[in-house]
Structure 1
């Protein structure tokens, strides 16, 4: 008789947990996945996928405007928010079904309930049933963080609610300066809302390359989005269907909706972590893990946003796969968290991989910068006032390309390909030896020959 009911119990049916379950089941493990909400997790249900669908739709009005320069005469157009939301919901339901089917096809079993740890090998389900497992994987993800409980915080929505609004707000205030805040700013502005972004820092996109931060802000402001920095929302008043956001600088903004996108926190509460001997990382509030994603309990692992390491869906998937390979496939794999490409689907779009100029200058004695700032070919006919940024950060001694930063149409698609070269430690000479693909914006990456800046750090005496 088996010592445990199952070989692996996965808490969380998001992208990382599902990948781990499927791969482990493929190795012959008896696997159960517990998900209390909907299969697919944040990314599929209320994150990356619906966000990207909203972004695509929000571009249409601008495309219609740009079409005039190419000879198209388009009459009156209309937009219906309810149709967008309904069609998005259909696609998300389809994807949820696909996630469920794929898990079950792998041989793993799904239980639609909450799961809490009773000890290092025992899980209590919301039904009252208990299950014992040789290994447990925690993949519960994260949730929006509203920050301090300011007066009127109950009137504020997060990105979760933004996907299900009954109508498009005519005016919206969005607090935050990162991925989610800027992506929704572009979404709402694209559909016709009057958008104001409020951010506490001196400029948006903290942690990104300084040139990227400046470029994105300038482009967003050209598109009519108001960006207020060095400020926070301190109070929200409700007047019927309207809201007034009071700012720390003393001013106030009237709107139909107030949204906070000021970060996310890992879902670690009420999981029974203490009883199972699973420690929290005091530095970030996530579950503490080692390079193998193992927690302080030998048989319990954690992956994805609940660890608060690199909160990106592909990273969670890679961690889940590596866990299953290591524990059940007897093929030890550690995930390399360096040089991970990322994108911000703001408008304009951002794609980046590797080091920023600031990071490179702090680590390397000689840093060369290659930068191009130009009007894209489409804008020469559409007449739109917009520019593209391409930037390479290079080690001036080894010639290795340390980072690539792009702002403009298709930045994410371009960056995914460039990330391969950066991961392979390609040199600037390798880029230069690559024949340009013309006419494209990305050809600038292989045609920039002269550094726009060269930084040499003097050795300390």
Structure 2
């Protein structure tokens, strides 16, 4: 091994958080290196939200055409998804990313290194046979699927696999009732596959409003997706015709493709954190309120690897801003995850921000409730969608928006206005003063708030 090369900052990972911090520190004159074990670009751009949303867009367009068949759209009921063409369309977004990211690093003067990085000291990293010594190290390695404790778990496919299928299998079984399973299920079902979701208890999508979740579950079933609740997978086995999933209660589900939708965890195993003196607890980095390791102040973390906020790209971007400011301005900045939105890109989408009714009742938080159905709203009815509803929680007295939960077309866009209200503590009266375009999803807000 060659002698150590010295840097101001070494970044592990090339996703949104990693790239942002590296770029800002390099612009400040720092010597920066960035290391990646896979293709440059990170999960969101290559294997997550962006390619998924591309597939969802086509699936939603097909679904909308079918809903509007006979309502002025001739032949809409016969439109189908050409899966190989859809994959080619997706690759038009993902394939250029690694090269573009490499070029951006070169243009910025950031040294990009391909290889699996691991600690060899408190401020030293080894990658691709090189030893890098740094004043600061950022861990921004994202997350990976959690290995479930079931027999045959090695046979499970991941969302990475689903998003790169050259042909869509006819029978898919999704393990777990989280957002990954629901999103992939809705895409696959609109493409003509037989889809089954197996969930361990009665509450899929646990962190979302359960009244709206129940509506989405029923709507999903009407779309042909079988959803088996109180059905915990016990084993996966290979068969002559594909795979079989056995549940703890003795049921058996045949499939050509079995998806791991049972959650993700920080991707830390390859880093040899003990060698760096970086403390871990229950699979998560132990960081302080500044996103700095509590046991090694050289090390910071951001995004899914930090596991402080929800595992979402906007959170990673926010973490990156906090870390960059702490590195460049002094370590006194803290993340604020108030008003982080979360969306299940089912068809239609389910969106959430802030306090849920379940959490408020559990914690004894007082609230005023606004809820209702939106299927007859003009902006919903004209799409042919039948599943649409809302629930808004307001603070008694002040009228501040505590939480908002939406199901229906444009939910993923309208929720952002409620997110602004939650983050800035806007009142229902202030939000209702919005003079929005009409008819639009935003124009429904006044009707929701009553």
User: TM-score normalised to the size of structure 1?
Assistant: 0.90
Classify the secondary structure of the residue corresponding to 1:443: helix
The separation in 2 between residues aligned to 1:389 and 1:168, in whole angstroms, is 32
1:93 corresponds to: 95
Superimposed CA distance per residue, residues 417-440 of structure 1 (whole angstroms, 9 cap, x where no aligned partner): 321122110112223334464323
Superimposed CA distance per residue, residues 434-453 of structure 1 (whole angstroms, 9 cap, x where no aligned partner): 44643234433223455xxx
Q: Go from structure 1 to structure 2 and tell me whether the alpha carbon gap of 1:433 and 1:31 turns closer, same or farther (over 3 Å shift).
A: same
2:119 corresponds to: 117
Q: Go from structure 1 to structure 2 and tell me whether the alpha carbon gap of 1:448 and 1:13 turns closer, same or farther (over 3 Å shift).
A: closer
The separation in 1 between residues aligned to 2:365 and 2:244, in whole angstroms, is 50
1:71 corresponds to: 72
2:303 corresponds to: 304
Q: Can you give the 5+ residue segments of structure 2 that lack an aligned partner in the other structure? A: none
Say if 1:360 and 1:402, in contact at 8 Å, map to a contact too.
no
Superimposed CA distance per residue, residues 76-132 of structure 1 (whole angstroms, 9 cap, x where no aligned partner): 545332222233223102233332233332221101111111111111112x22111
Classify the secondary structure of the residue corresponding to 1:168: coil
1:459 corresponds to: none
Q: Go from structure 1 to structure 2 and tell me whether the alpha carbon gap of 1:201 and 1:103 turns closer, same or farther (over 3 Å shift).
A: farther
Aligned 1:212-231 pairs, distance under 5 A: 212-231=212-231
Deviation at 1:53, TM superposition (A): 0.9
Answering whether residue 136 of structure 2 is matched by residue 160 of structure 1, we say no
Say if 2:390 and 2:448, in contact at 8 Å, map to a contact too.
no
Deviation at 1:243, TM superposition (A): 2.2
The separation in 2 between residues aligned to 1:43 and 1:349, in whole angstroms, is 19
Q: Go from structure 1 to structure 2 and tell me whether the alpha carbon gap of 1:4 and 1:253 turns closer, same or farther (over 3 Å shift).
A: closer
Q: Go from structure 1 to structure 2 and tell me whether the alpha carbon gap of 1:433 and 1:63 turns closer, same or farther (over 3 Å shift).
A: closer
Classify the secondary structure of the residue corresponding to 2:338: coil
Q: Go from structure 1 to structure 2 and tell me whether the alpha carbon gap of 1:215 and 1:158 turns closer, same or farther (over 3 Å shift).
A: same
Bigger mean CA offset, 5-14 vs 337-346: 337-346
Deviation at 1:358, TM superposition (A): 2.1
Aligned 1:256-405 pairs, distance under 5 A: 256-282=256-282, 285-295=283-293, 296-309=295-308, 310-330=310-330, 332-363=332-363, 365-375=365-375, 376-377=377-378, 380=381, 386-405=386-405
Deviation at 1:378, TM superposition (A): 6.5
Deviation at 1:379, TM superposition (A): 6.4
Aligned 1:407-418 pairs, distance under 5 A: 407-418=407-418
Classify the secondary structure of the residue corresponding to 1:290: coil
2:180 corresponds to: 180
Say if 1:23 and 1:321, in contact at 8 Å, map to a contact too.
no
The separation in 2 between residues aligned to 1:185 and 1:143, in whole angstroms, is 20
Q: Can you give the 5+ residue segments of structure 1 that lack an aligned partner in the other structure? A: 451-461
Deviation at 1:56, TM superposition (A): 1.0
Answering whether residue 58 of structure 2 is matched by residue 60 of structure 1, we say no
1:41 corresponds to: 42
CA RMSD of aligned residues (A): 2.1
Deviation at 1:212, TM superposition (A): 2.3
The separation in 2 between residues aligned to 1:222 and 1:17, in whole angstroms, is 42
Bigger mean CA offset, 87-96 vs 400-409: 87-96
The separation in 1 between residues aligned to 2:274 and 2:197, in whole angstroms, is 39
1:22 corresponds to: 23
Classify the secondary structure of the residue corresponding to 1:297: coil
Say if 2:12 and 2:141, in contact at 8 Å, map to a contact too.
yes
1:454 corresponds to: none
Deviation at 1:188, TM superposition (A): 0.6
Deviation at 1:203, TM superposition (A): 2.0
Say if 2:392 and 2:404, in contact at 8 Å, map to a contact too.
yes
Say if 1:353 and 1:419, in contact at 8 Å, map to a contact too.
yes
1:453 corresponds to: none
Q: Go from structure 1 to structure 2 and tell me whether the alpha carbon gap of 1:363 and 1:339 turns closer, same or farther (over 3 Å shift).
A: farther
Bigger mean CA offset, 92-101 vs 220-229: 92-101
Classify the secondary structure of the residue corresponding to 1:333: coil
Bigger mean CA offset, 80-89 vs 273-282: 80-89
Aligned length: 443
Superimposed CA distance per residue, residues 267-290 of structure 1 (whole angstroms, 9 cap, x where no aligned partner): 1113121111100023xx111111
Deviation at 1:166, TM superposition (A): 3.0
Deviation at 1:373, TM superposition (A): 0.7
Aligned 1:195-206 pairs, distance under 5 A: 195-206=195-206
Deviation at 1:390, TM superposition (A): 1.7
Q: Go from structure 1 to structure 2 and tell me whether the alpha carbon gap of 1:380 and 1:343 turns closer, same or farther (over 3 Å shift).
A: closer
User: TM-score normalised to the size of structure 2?
Assistant: 0.92
Deviation at 1:63, TM superposition (A): 2.5
Classify the secondary structure of the residue corresponding to 2:235: strand
1:455 corresponds to: none
Deviation at 1:330, TM superposition (A): 4.4
Q: Go from structure 1 to structure 2 and tell me whether the alpha carbon gap of 1:116 and 1:380 turns closer, same or farther (over 3 Å shift).
A: closer
The separation in 2 between residues aligned to 1:78 and 1:220, in whole angstroms, is 18
